[in-house]
Amino acid sequence: MTYSAPETRYDQLPIRRVGKTGLQLPVISLGLWRHFGDEAPFARSREVVLDAFDHGVFSFDLANNYGPSKGSAERTFGQIMQRDLKPYRDELVITTKAGYPAWPGPYGAFGSRKTLISSLDRSLKQMHLDYVDIFYSHRPDPNIDLQETAQALDQLVRQGKALYVGISNYDRDQTATMIQYFNDMHTPFTVNQYSYNMLNQQAQTTGLLDYLGQHGAGLVAYGPLAEGLLSQRYLDGIPADFPIHRTNKYLFEQGPQPVVAQLNALNDIAQQRGQTLAQMALAWLLRSQTVTSVIIGTTSIDHLHANLDAAKQLDFSADEVTAITAILK
């Protein structure tokens, strides 16, 4: 059966402009980090991607190492593009990244010119695309001058392989360095994709969020639910083998119990708002207009719809802000 997207798809989610650029994103994007590779049933992956688009999610986030196995998420998405989404290419924002290990040898990771250019060529082939909308440097390369990374990203835009460039996991100072390089070359830099959630607010406390806003760029938040920690699942305790992301490990420095106490206090406020804890966690990040989109990852249609419902209530009262801020200190 031929896929046809509903005409109501743009009635579902708010859309935000990225800084002062022409790029616009839905406030919630779908990430294909885990569970969309060749170990996952293709039919389920296809169902989630298409259902997301049906409900206003036109931004899909990938990377050259997403799977498992590495690169297979791009191949899965490429099949969906060929089979279903090709007629809608002009409506989609498709993003990918390079920087973490994706193939053997010295050029399989980090941010050299050869790595970035080779990686995007691979990604375009795997996804059956002529270009991506945003191509990211997935992490700063500590071994080279960041100018080489910036120049490679600029070259890819000028070659027509990417419309915009982004960076990911760059701190405030590294972001400032890259923005200066991009400004010098007139490169269309748009966003920093950064780990950001209610419990891990380093994007805010380090000044990164404000800096991006001041320079006409946006922040796209990955891990907005802290690998599911910000849900009702862990109100009674967090298992010792919980798969916490490296950017959130510091949250457990005093053990899991203080985090469990925070989760319960936050859940009480969420219930008073008529939201789940996960929905409130997503809405909390979107209070800042500099946060252009939050990336969710799910293989469940029910979870997808529940997360999208967060956009129905994005406002917080002054009392709620005060109470939540006190809990998160």
Q: Average pLDDT in the 24-34 region?
A: 97
pLDDT tens digits, 99-108: 999 999 999 9
> Which amino acid does the sequence have at 245?
H
Residue 317 is predicted with a pLDDT of 98
- What average pLDDT does the segment 264-268 reach? 98
Res 1 pLDDT > 90? no
Closest Cα to residue 189, out of 30, 64, 59, 20? 20
Residue 287, strand partner residues? none
Give the pLDDT score at 79: 98
pLDDT at 3 over 90: yes
**pLDDT single digits (tens) 196-207:** 999 999 999 999
Q: Which residue has the tokens 């406030």?
A: 27
pLDDT value, residue 19: 86
**pLDDT tens, residue by residue, 308-328:** 999 999 999 999 999 999 999
311 vs 48, 55, 280, CA distance in Å?
A: 18, 12, 9
Q: Are strands 15-17 and 24-26 parallel, antiparallel or unpaired?
A: antiparallel
Separation of alpha carbons 47 and 1, rounded Å: 13
Average pLDDT over residues 133-145: 98
pTM score above 0.85: yes
pLDDT-derived band at 142, boundaries 50, 70, 90: very high
Q: Where does the pLDDT of residue 47 fall: very low under 50, low under 70, confident under 90, or very high at 90 and above?
A: very high
- pLDDT, residue 322, reads 98
- Crossing angle of the two packed helices 257-273 and 277-285, in degrees rounded to 10: 90
Rounded to an integer, what is the distance from CA 264 to the centroid of its chain? 26
Query: Token match 């420095």: residue?
Result: 253
Whether the CB-CB separation of 190 and 21 falls below 8 Å is answered with: yes
Task: Please give the pLDDT value at position 169.
Answer: 98
Q: Identify the structural domains of the chain with CATH numbers, from first to last.
A: 9-328 (3.20.20.100)
**pLDDT band at residue 20 using 50, 70 and 90 as cut-offs:** confident
Is the predicted pLDDT of residue 141 greater than 90, yes or no?
Answer: yes
Amino acid 210: pLDDT: 98
| Residue 202: per-residue pLDDT | 97
pLDDT digits (tens, 9 = 90+) for 69-105: 999 999 999 999 999 999 999 999 999 999 999 999 9
- The pLDDT tens digits of the residues spanning 212-260 come to 999 999 999 999 999 999 999 999 999 999 999 999 999 999 999 999 9
Mean pLDDT across the stretch 50-55?
98
